[in-house]
């Protein structure tokens, strides 16, 4: 189980809206690491965001930048399987696994989470 740590942030990204991804999810996530606002930042790609991440070059470039700055980018493997984009996301560096238990433990731990 996750232990409570105020220096960790999970960004749960579920929207397929590109402008929100570029101008909120990645802007905040990348700057959070770049400017040391959080020690650890994890971006969880889930739901409709899975499709956007697999198909949009601008979003893919932001995933690469996030990884360069040390943002951990993970994704829901079930979503990727359902949308048939497992290989695409793995090539981008997205760590895929079945994330339901991970998210549940994060929420129950009381750690900080931003949901978009």
SS3 35: coil
3 within a domain of the structure (yes/no): no
Strands 112-115 and 8-13, by their bridges, are: parallel
Instruction: Specify if 40 maps to a domain.
Output: yes
2 domain-assigned: no
Say which CATH number the domain at 71 has. Answer: 3.40.1260.10
Answer yes or no: is pLDDT of 88 > 80. Answer: yes
Give tens-digit pLDDT for 27-84.
999 999 999 999 999 999 999 999 999 999 999 999 999 999 999 999 999 999 999 9
Q: Is 107 a member of any domain?
A: yes
| For residue 5, pLDDT beyond 80 | no
- Report yes or no on 25 lying in a domain: yes
pLDDT of residue 6: 77
pLDDT digits (tens, 9 = 90+) for 8-17: 999 999 999 9
| Position 81 in a domain | yes
Q: What angle do CA 78, 61, 51 make, to 5 degrees?
A: 30
Per 3-state DSSP, what percentage of the chain is helix, strand, and coil (rounded to 5)?
50, 20, 30
Total number of domains in the chain = 1
Q: Which domain holds residue 87?
A: 8-115
In the chain, the percentage of residues whose pLDDT exceeds 70 is: 97
């Amino acid at each position: 189980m996750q232990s409570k740590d105020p220096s960790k942030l999970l960004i749960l990204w579920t929207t397929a809206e590109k402008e929100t991804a570029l101008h909120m999810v990645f802007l905040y996530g990348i700057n959070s690491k770049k400017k040391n606002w959080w020690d650890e930042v994890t971006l969880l790609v889930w739901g409709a965001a899975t499709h956007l991440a697999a198909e949009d070059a601008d979003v893919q470039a932001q995933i690469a930048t996030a990884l360069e700055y040390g943002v951990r980018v993970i994704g829901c493997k079930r979503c990727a399987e359902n949308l048939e984009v497992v290989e695409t996301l793995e090539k981008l560096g997205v760590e895929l696994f079945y994330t339901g238990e991970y998210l549940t433990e994060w929420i129950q731990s009381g750690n900080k989470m931003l949901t978009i």
